[in-house]
Amino acid sequence: MLTALAFDVVPPGYRADLLVCLGLASGPATAPEVHAAACRLATGVVDLLVTEAARYAQPLPSDLAEQLADGSLRQYVAQLAAGA
């Protein structure tokens, strides 16, 4: 967990949202707050992967790298975050 909190390159709000999702925020979070934090984390990480695709595509499985490149991963995560 400490390693995940110490990453240098993270999406905006990553650390606060991660703490909420792990149940380690300064106060209790409601289920909708945890859901919102998880959605922001997933969306933010995918957006970061898209902007840094050249750096991160190599270590990804080939099907995931393809979904990242063609935008289908971003669309899927957006649908999940929207509650589709």
Q: Where are the domains of the chain?
A: 12-82
Cβ atoms of 39 and 81 within 8 Å: the answer is: yes
pLDDT score of 17: 96
Structure tokens given for 53: 């695709």
32-80 residue pLDDT tens: 999 999 999 999 999 988 888 777 777 888 888 889 889 999 999 999 8
More confident residue, 65 or 1: 65
**First and final C-alpha spacing in the chain:** 30
Residue 84 has pLDDT above 60, yes or no: no
Cβ atoms of 34 and 19 within 8 Å: the answer is: no
pLDDT score of 49: 86
Give one word for 11, left, alpha or beta, with left for phi > 0 and alpha for psi -120 to 50. Answer: beta
Cα gap 20→16, rounded to integer Å: 6
Predicted structure pTM score: 0.81
Residue 14 has pLDDT above 90, yes or no: yes
